[in-house]
Structure 1
């Protein structure tokens, strides 16, 4: 009897050690391309001027390179769930990283703006599959009790990439050629593929449904039209009529898809997923919080450079404290969930993220840099707290058979939230600048506070959704 207990204890210890190993290694592997995607998205803005001079084109025309990637991402996202069920998580994930890396190499070798736009579209195809499939790998391979720590390792690199992108871009364009912004993705992509083939488990659906062509077309047009409108609003490289037309087409297609997919489970993205309370609350109700979290890495560096007067490198070093704060939550995350539960943490994250974002609007040239770094550090903590809890508890109760479609829909909602956040901040800055008697191309310190106050207040609206969560929601994570 004693021998049997010893043997059982050894088996349990081995199983727990395996979970601990998986909790760290697998998220780090699937997060490698997430980091690259985040860096690639945020770094390009720093290098636009250098690329424009090299290719002898107007800098505003290069905005098409940014928008082309976002449109491609929106266009192919709906198909990621079906492809994963059909070909398996590991194969699709490695293929996505390979496509993204190849497109990065082609962008680095491009000799015209047309080539960059085309290759950025190819990048978007790879990027559209990396995030939802990476999250699906975690949900299928990590036990619920270990999922919080796994999601933490998965979420943080993206936050770090978005914050460090402008700083890294400043160093690259200063010390070497802008082409290295794209070429650096290649070795990291190859490393991610090799590690995935060796360590990431493969899974696929036992029964694959037919590919819903009608639903794919409607969803792709709807999502890409809305994202196109959000990405081009407030910019001068396309007329306002185009933005309105693209957004209108997107909304009409989205409504058509809703009518087409009602009460159907065999469509490419079943909207009855919103019938799961936790999924609905974290993805719809959590949109205001995601808007603030997604806008911070973009508009905080802009505030520090234009408003406070920092150089790009100084701005990058200061805003990097958002990433330091995101890392700072790691040691206490599990204990916080065990002590307080998921619901109170999500409510607190919404309130304090909004307060932190509003406080950024108070930054000024006369303010202590240590105070600014401390506020950004705390902002990084509460941002990470909110994102990790939402990304983890949001899939609670969803059957394994439709998990791939749930991750695709969740990624689509997050991408739309980020695009809306950027559009909202851009519009607020434009309106404020005109109210102050000058154009948005000549922003001043006085143009920023109202934008940060509005978005900060908006973040707190998520409290109304989070308060509807059951008190024991996410109990399996504790």
Structure 2
């Protein structure tokens, strides 16, 4: 026991170092977006592509992460991914145009695509299922420091220095991560070799890229409508072709048969719907506070960081909550609560007391984080060890796709609002309908979570379902064998 507990803590903390870097980067750019746009001489809505391109790069390359980790070893891949992500961060800080920034963000996405799912795979193969909830809490608690520190740090740097520094702060974190991985992470890999599904990766990449970019184009009005429709058509066609390919390939890049596992299917599909709505928050909220309410990036960051602080507090109670109630009640009721808090942001006005905003963001962040922890754990509850790498790739791809669609969807809603009122610049009222719509979208995920069995994921959660007593015998009637 003396050697087991430190390992259960040490491995998640090292992996969390990479998650911290990624989450810090994701949150600081949202706060700094208006100033970056001003520096490049472009509209903040157009710079949503800087967020979407990173998330899309993750979604395109993540499907290959499981195979790469099994082929070259999780330690080598994880370490190389941190190096690539750090180099991408340096290029972001040196960018002088939207095109350069988007290209650098794609490189960051390539590193993140291998970094996060491979890190999770190391964790999944290092702990038993009964310890998975606790290990996930250890993993995500330090990682949540990124969203806690990101908005105020990014706002402070952008207000009082240069936005370029928000990317350079990843350099020392990346160096520390490489050293820790080299010293302490085992070289986990599968002994069985499977062929690389290059055709499948191409099909999924084209499908995801076309559909997300088409959706992004709707939000920024940069392409003619026929071209946007054509992108949608190519994306859907590529997706259909991949589904046919996946049923024939011996080792498809995204294993669709995982969806036959009920807990995995509901976690992925329901989680994707929930995350699309929630994924709009890092884009919509800083823009509303800065462009709508006239706050500086630092003032905005000092308000929005509180959501991550609420998420950090939740990690201390997640294990007990899931064990007491079980996955199904938590996912159903918590989706309702989280969505209502998201919709409440539509009521924010310039004269809304900051204390009230802080309170709603704090509690909303708490419940959203509980939902994410539950979803991330339930997804792997019934997955066999030899399929963990493919399940991790599939789950991570869905998560990043939903985050991309959330940002793009937020931009679409703002653009539609501007069109309906005849154009102009964004004002506070433009964000009301956007928050209401994305909140309703997250709420609709309840329909999926209600399909879970009462004892879903009980081996992982530790929640005991009371046994149903046998019916009392009536009279002298007895059930005979075979009846």
TM-score normalised to the size of structure 1?
A: 0.89
CA distance in 1, matches of 2:272, 2:98: 34
2: CA distance between counterparts of 1:249 and 1:412? 19
Match of 1:219 among 179, 204, 212: 204
Give the Cα–Cα distance (whole angstroms) in 2 for the partners of residues 111 and 307 of structure 1.
26
Aligned partner of 2:266 in structure 1 is 281
Q: How does 1:106-125 map to 2 (within 5 A)?
A: 106-110=91-95, 115-125=100-110
C-alpha change, 1:187 and 1:167, in structure 2 (3 Å) is same
Alignment-derived partner of residue 7 in structure 1: none
Structure 1: gaps of 5 or more residues: 1-12
Shift of 1:128: 1.1
Q: Cα distance 1:433–1:121, how it changes in 2: closer, same or farther (>3 A)?
A: closer
Q: Distance in 2 between matches of 1:95 and 1:22?
A: 23
Which of 457, 467, 476 matches 1:474? 457
Tell me, what secondary structure is at the counterpart of 1:331?
Answer: coil
Contact persistence 1:265–1:272 (CA under 8 A): no
Separation in structure 2 between the aligned mates of residue 277 and residue 331 of structure 1, nearest angstrom: 28
**Structure 1 contact 23–149 (Cα < 8 Å) conserved:** no
Q: Report what 1:14 is aligned to.
A: 2
Q: 1:59 to 1:448 in 2, by over 3 A?
A: closer
Aligned with 2:146 (options 158, 161, 176): 161
Aligned twin of 2:180: 195
Equivalent position to 2:359, from 374, 386, 390: 374
Cα distance, 1:45 vs. partner? 4.5
Which of 232-241 and 350-359 deviates more? 232-241
Match of 1:181 in 2: 166
Q: Which residue of 289, 314, 333 corresponds with 2:318?
A: 333
Which residues in structure 2 correspond to 1:369-408 (within 5 Å)?
369-408=354-393
Alpha-carbon shift at residue 114 of structure 1 (Å): 5.4
Identify if the C-alpha distance between structure 1 residues 379 and 71 changes in structure 2 by more than 3 Å, giving closer, same or farther.
Answer: closer
Q: Establish whether residue 84 from structure 1 lines up as the match of residue 69 from structure 2.
A: yes
After superposition, the Cα gap between the structure-2 partners of 1:257 and 1:170, relative to the gap in structure 1 and judged at 3 Å, is: same
Which residue among 417, 435, 442 is the counterpart of 1:459?
Answer: 442
Q: Is the 8 A contact 1:33 1:192 kept in 2?
A: yes
Gaps of 5+ in 2: 463-483
Contact 1:355 1:456 in 2 (8 A): yes
SS in 1 for 2:219: coil
Could you tell me how far apart the structure 1 residues matched to 2:414 and 2:319 are? 39
SS in 1 for 2:125: helix
DSSP 3-state at the match of 1:141: coil
* CA contact 1:156–1:384 (8 Å) conserved in 2: no
Identify which range, 460-469 or 161-170, moves more after superposition. Answer: 161-170
> 2:428 corresponds to which residue?
445
Deviates more, 1:42-51 or 1:378-387: 42-51
Give the deviation of 1:365 after TM superposition.
2.5
CA contact (8 A) 2:338 2:367 kept: yes
- The answer for the alignment partner of 1:73 in structure 2 is 58
8 Å contact from structure 2 (residues 326, 458) kept in 1: yes
Equivalent residue, structure 2, for 1:3:
none
- Is residue 263–residue 272 contact of structure 1 (8 Å, CA) maintained in 2? no
Which digits, 9 at most, give the CA deviation of each residue in 1:274-305, with x for residues without a partner? Answer: 11111100111222221233222332222333
Report the CA distance shift for 1:113/1:389 in structure 2 as closer, same or farther (over 3 A): closer
- Per-residue Cα deviation, 1:301-344 (whole angstroms, up to 9, x for no partner): 22333344433222211111101110111222121122111111
Q: Any runs of at least 4 consecutive aligned residues in structure 1 with deviations exceeding 6 A, and if so which?
A: none
Distance 1:425 1:163, change over 3 A: farther
Deviation at 1:132, TM superposition (A): 1.1
Q: What are the residue-to-residue correspondences of 1:202-281 with 2, within 5 Å?
A: 202-262=187-247, 264-281=249-266
